[in-house]
Structure 1
Amino acid sequence: MGEAVGMILTIFVINILYVSLNTIRLLMTMKGYRYRAAIVSVFEIVVYIVALGMVMSNLNDIANIAAYALGFGVGIVVGMKIEERLALGYITVNVITKDYNLDLANQIRNAGYGVTSWLASGRDGERMMLEILTPRKNENKLYQRIIAIDDKAFIVSSEPKQIYGGFWVKQVRGGVKKK
């Protein structure tokens, strides 16, 4: 009985590890970290072969199959949490503020962010539009800073696929292409 429980737990844990690596590799690939993704894939496939081999050699026990399936589901969540902590890549944050005279752009620049701003026209009149590029790891700090200055600001973020030109190019390393 103890051996069976050990096998179930081993399959479960190994599959969590496999799927976590798979999720991280996939996200790295999508963000352009191709060489790092390739290295992760080597470890991923070794773990996969071990886990699958354990299940395939014990297909007569439904608990092993269930452990494999549950490990898969938990592994996706764990992999996503790891990627959130790694915060790979960059984001572009667009901010629309109602008060055009607000010195939001300069305050954000003084905090070390690159900001492009312009006059925009909204349904209810003039607005100030800001575009800010920042590493994903700084995303929450940037949001907090913007909200502290203007708690009614409209904020939308996206991930750029490629960055070209501007003073940021010299600072961008790794996942986003630079030219």
Structure 2
Amino acid sequence: MLENGLVMMIIILLINIVYVSFFTIRMILTLKGQRYLAAFLSTFEVVIYVVGLGLVLDNLNEIQNLIAYALGYAMGVLVGMKLEEKLALGYIAVNVITTDETELPATLRDQGYGVTSWAAHGRERDRIAMQILTPRKYELKLYEMIKSTDPKAFIISYEPKQIHGGFWVKQVRRSKLEEL
């Protein structure tokens, strides 16, 4: 089966897509502090890498195998990014500034989000500033809720490096968010 040039190209392409996807997920797990899971995943990653590279090196006289390897790598980056989007590991913190006429803080709290709000003073009028913490997989839903309540809300989001204490840790635990 490996004597067929087309089959060899497809195998190399698929191996590299899987390898680079594993690499991407392992890197993300490492950055998120999931050391042991990342180490476990790297075991499979390196086996896949060695097999794929071995196939290419054994057939260096066939340029199409090298091209398949490179294309598989590029496609693996895209697949890895899509997987990361679907997994949406970790949390995001969202800072929102909205008009003081909205009931946005109460609405978000009712939906299970951890919201800290305070009075803010803008150039033209008073505002409400909020800080909201949520699992990344609920990020888009949160943006939709904010924009539907106040389409002109100012929104900034970032990934917190460490979370300690507060309402979120004690109470929320995704209970209401899971129902969304």
1:74 is the counterpart of 2:75:
yes
Which residue identity is paired with 1:127?
A: R
**Structure 2 segments unaligned to the other structure (5+ residues):** 175-180
Query: Which residues of 2 match residues 21-60 of structure 1 at below 5 A?
Result: 21-60=22-61
Aligned-pair identity in percent equals 56
Deviation at 1:123, TM superposition (A): 2.6
Equivalent pairs counted in the alignment come to: 172
Deviation at 1:22, TM superposition (A): 0.3
Aligned to 2:126, the other structure's residue is in SS state: strand
Deviation at 1:60, TM superposition (A): 0.9
Counterpart of 2:154 in structure 1 is 154
Aligned to 1:148, the other structure's residue is in SS state: helix
Which residue identity is paired with 2:12?
A: I
1:168 is the counterpart of 2:178:
no
Aligned to 2:4, the other structure's residue is in SS state: helix
Aligned to 1:95, the other structure's residue is in SS state: strand
- TM-score normalised by length of structure 1: 0.91
Q: For 1:77 and 1:46, how far apart are their aligned partners in 2?
A: 21
Counterpart of 2:103 in structure 1 is 103
Counterpart of 1:136 in structure 2 is 136
Q: Deviations over 1:129-151 (max 9, x none)?
A: 11000000111111111111111
**In structure 2, do the counterparts of structure 1 residues 53 and 172 end up closer, same or farther at CA, with 3 Å as the change threshold?**
farther
**Structure 1 segments unaligned to the other structure (5+ residues):** 174-179
